[in-house]
Amino acid sequence: MGRRSSHTPEELRELILEASTELISEGGLTGLSAREIARRINYSPGTLYNVFENLDDLVLTIEGRLIDGLAAELDKVPAQDSPMEQALAMGRAYLNYTSKKPKLWNLLFEHHLPAGREVPVWYQQKLDSVMQRVEAVVSPLMPRRSAEDVTRSAHVLWAGVHGITSLATADKLAVVTSEGAGPLVDLLISAYLQGINQSAKPAR
């Protein structure tokens, strides 16, 4: 049939990403399908594969944007506050950002690449950039610790906050839901950061 579209390549790309984001926001990763995207934007399924390698590629692109969005939110945390206040503010920023479209954010953890495929470099870099922001805030709170320990703590907090929001989202593991994730995230951050300071190197 040939060209029929009134869209530039960039527009088409955005169209696809928008439709995909919407589908995921509504139904999670399960709600996404190449054919349904095509239907919504009025193109044939084949067209998607001119723009993206495959669905994994498309999803990875969306994930990248989500991470960028979080990074931007974390940057808004006032730098003049005390480190502990900044840490708590980051936790709340994470929660605030991710809870708008929980299923969309959950993409980062639901989506697994097929065995063998590695995450692209740019993806890892985006993630590292977020981790660095966390480290920067955690670091002054553990002055006697090595850089490795700071990194470890940043990872623990990142994973912990993820764990809490993830369980809160999954209505299935509703153990947590009853109280909402907010207080739990506060609790994790404040208790952890106080504990890390006052303890000798933990056993092991």
For DNA, the binding residues (CB under 7 A) are 1-5, 7, 9, 12, 32-36, 42-50, 54-56
Q: Which of 51, 64, 109, 133 binds a second copy (CB under 8 A)?
A: 109
Q: How far apart are CA 40 and CA 38, in angstroms?
A: 5
Residue 57 CB, nearest distance to a second copy (Å)? Answer: 14
Q: How far apart are CA 92 and CA 76, in angstroms?
A: 12
**Hey, what amino acid is at 178?**
S
Structure tokens at 172: 């299935």
> Of 19-78, which residues contact a second copy (CB under 8 A)?
27-28, 30
First to last CA, the chain: 67
Residue 58 CB, nearest distance to a second copy (Å)? Answer: 15
Interaction partner, residue 160 (DNA, a second copy, none; CB < 5-8 Å by kind): a second copy
Residue burial 10-21, b: 16+ Cβ < 10 Å; e: rest? eebeebbbebbb
Those residues whose C-beta lies under 8 Å from the C-beta of residue 199, and which sit 6 or more positions away, are none
Residue 53 CB, nearest distance to DNA (Å)? Answer: 7
- Which chain residues interact with a second copy by CB under 8 A? 27-28, 30, 88, 108-113, 115, 118-119, 123-124, 127-128, 131, 152-153, 155-156, 158-164, 166-167, 170-176, 179, 182-184, 186-188, 190-196, 198-199, 202-204
